Structures are given as C-alpha cells and as structure tokens.
C-alpha cells in the first residue's frame, strides 16, 4: 500500500509498498482509499507544506488495476470516477505538488503525474507513456481533459494517438516534465524544490489553483458513463 515520509515541510507520498521491490502501484480501490487517507493527513498539518509523490524500484505507477476491474466490468465507470477524483484532488491541492517519476509511468499512472503542479523524471530509465490506443482502451472525458489541458496540443496528440514511450530527456524536451535527474538525485532534487515552494501553501494558493484549473476541474467531475474496452 502507499505510505508517507516527512522531510521537514515536505511530505513524500510513496505509491508502492514499504520496503521497496518493484511494486507497480496499480490503482486498486484499497490503494486509492489509502492515498486519500494520507492526503488527509498531509492537509491536516499546519504551516508550510508541499507534496512530493514518488515510488521506489522500476515503477512510478502503472495506473489502472486491470486484474481487479476486468471481472467487474459492470463497475468500470464507477471505478474510473474514483481515479478521476484523485486527479481532481491533486490538481487543486492547496500546497505545491511535484511528481518525482522514478520509473515507468503508464496510462492512468502517467496521468497521475500530470495532475501534479510539476514533474521531475529520472533521466536514465523509465518511460512516460499513454498506451491506451494500442490496448484499445478509451480515454474517458475526464482523462482526455487532463491530458489536453496540461500538455501542449501537439504533444497530447502524439502521446494519445501513437502510444509513444517518452524517456526522461524526451519528456523534458516536449514539456511533459519540468526537470530530469539521475536516479540518485531525483528524489532529493524534487524535495529541495518542494521545500522552496512550501511557504506558499495555504488557502490563497488553493484558490489560485481552483481558478487556473476551473475548466479542467469541471471536466474531472463529469460522471463517466458507457465506457467500453476493445472497440
């Protein structure tokens, strides 16, 4: 499950299991609920604060838990809306947020990174990828809005319609991420940047984010209906 580490004013949210390994950190409902619980804990702290989201090992997160949802396709739309709710929360979180992409970020996991204010990515290994087109899986209205409102139009087109895998340097070149670093420096660099921004935490920042992302937030709150896979 997910867990928290605190470095002064910076809260580091690990998406995977404590103790390391190659946890794909897929979005099982229990993991999503635990992430929300940890975010509640972060928001209840007082004073300067910032959030860095990361993982350890080979994966940042591979997104949707297909093993969980495929036997429950009648619950697919509701499940997807729980994922959208996490995006919506991160987009407007009233503190600075940085995704430290330590490894592969695929599909809904790449979108989770995209929901943060800023993204730092490992330079030497791991891909940012939206493989839905090759998997014959649709982008929901909310997912499409997140990608097209946070990436430039041409980059969103390429990422969504070709399933291209972007390395850290390629993602930086296209504006998908804001910085790259070697593995040993990635998390420390993200934490250092987050610490610089932590004093900005507060209601004013939250209101600014709500204003900046008003159209996206409305799209993320649209109820999902009629999703099918394999067309």
Short-list 69, 190, 89, 66, CA closest to 142: 89
pTM value is 0.97
Residue 20 has what pLDDT?
66
User: pLDDT tens digits for 200-219?
Assistant: 999 999 999 999 999 999 99
CA distance 172 to 176: 6
User: pLDDT tens digits for 22-47?
Assistant: 789 999 999 999 999 999 999 999 99
DSSP track, 92-127: T-SS-EEEEE-SEEETHHHHHHHTSSEEEEESSS--
Full set of structural domains in the chain with CATH: 3-220 (3.90.226.10)
């Amino acid at each position: 499950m997910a867990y928290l580490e605190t470095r002064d004013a910076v809260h580091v949210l690990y998406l995977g299991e404590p103790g390391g390994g190659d946890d794909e950190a897929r979005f099982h409902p229990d993991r999503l609920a635990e992430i929300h619980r940890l975010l509640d804990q972060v928001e209840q702290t007082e004073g300067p604060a910032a959030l860095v989201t990361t993982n350890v090992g080979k994966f940042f997160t591979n997104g949707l838990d297909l093993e969980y949802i495929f036997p429950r396709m009648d619950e697919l739309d509701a499940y997807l809306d729980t994922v959208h709710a996490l995006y919506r929360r991160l987009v407007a979180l009233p503190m600075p947020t940085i995704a430290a992409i330590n490894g592969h970020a695929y599909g809904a996991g790449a979108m989770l990174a995209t929901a943060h204010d800023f993204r730092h990515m490992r330079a030497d290994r791991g891909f940012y990828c939206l493989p839905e087109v090759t998997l014959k899986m649709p982008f929901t209205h909310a997912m499409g809005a997140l990608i097209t409102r946070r990436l430039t139009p041409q980059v969103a087109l390429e990422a969504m319609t070709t399933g291209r895998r972007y390395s850290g340097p390629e993602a930086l070149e296209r504006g998908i991420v804001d910085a790259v670093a070697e593995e040993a420096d990635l998390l420390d660099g993200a934490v250092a940047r987050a610490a610089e921004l932590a004093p900005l935490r507060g209601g004013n920042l939250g209101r600014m984010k709500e204003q900046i992302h008003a159209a996206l937030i409305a799209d993320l709150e649209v109820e999902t209906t009629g999703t099918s896979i394999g067309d």
